[in-house]
Chain A
């Protein structure tokens, strides 16, 4: 079946511009996660959505970052007034629910953001 998809795959923007990154999770997955990965670095958690619960936004690095998930499916990560340090690969993952075979997080291919 279809995996997690993300768009755009690459984004080059100028410092100070706003960008929107989109994630389409696997159908039926109730949990959705955003991470980012800077060059040669590990995963940095950003935000987590689970069903209708309030999202865990504890990983968002500043108030320039926001995310929403409409209808419990598609999610959009928005970065306002982008800075050069925002350059990274932004990864989205989804999982079905918390049971042994269904807690696995499946990742999308990522959006490579470059802020000039």
Chain B
């Protein structure tokens, strides 16, 4: 899996948009960008993933640059409950790697997002 680089921490005011960057300059053509988060003392939670087009769901938006070397996760209206460690992962989906073992998720250090009142 390609290496990712994220800032160790960020702060955001409640109600404002939180923009979390991720660099993945060595990403290959069939690798997707995934985002998970982990709220303190809870299990990781899937947020969103994408290949090259921007994606949006009920939790967040994912903006991927045209060269795919970086991406930004956007929480449009951050709440205190969004305080968590956010992990950016780049990997080939298991369905595209038949017989491989890339179903194993590995997280780096991530970004600790603190949403302040």
Contact = CB atoms under 8 A, between A and B. Distances in A.
A33 B109 CA distance: 21
A105 interface: yes
Contact of B93 (A98, A106, A109): A98
Could you tell me the dominant secondary structure of chain B's interface residues? loop
B95 A48 contact: no
Nearest to B87: A42
A48 B106 contact: no
Nearest to A45: B104
In this complex, the member of B43, B49, B93 whose beta carbon has the largest number of chain A beta carbons within 10 angstroms is B43
B21 interface: no
Interface in A94-111: 95, 98-100, 103-110
Contact of B107 (A4, A43, A95): A43
Given A33-B103, A42-B107, A43-B106, A109 B42 contact: yes
B94 interface: yes
A61 interface: no
Interface in B48-99: 49, 93-95
Interface of B: 42-46, 49, 93-95, 101, 103-109
Interface of A: 4, 31, 33, 35, 42-43, 45, 48, 56, 58-59, 91, 93, 95, 98-100, 103-110
Q: Which 4 A-B pairs have the closest CB atoms?
A: A107-B43, A98-B95, A45-B104, A42-B107
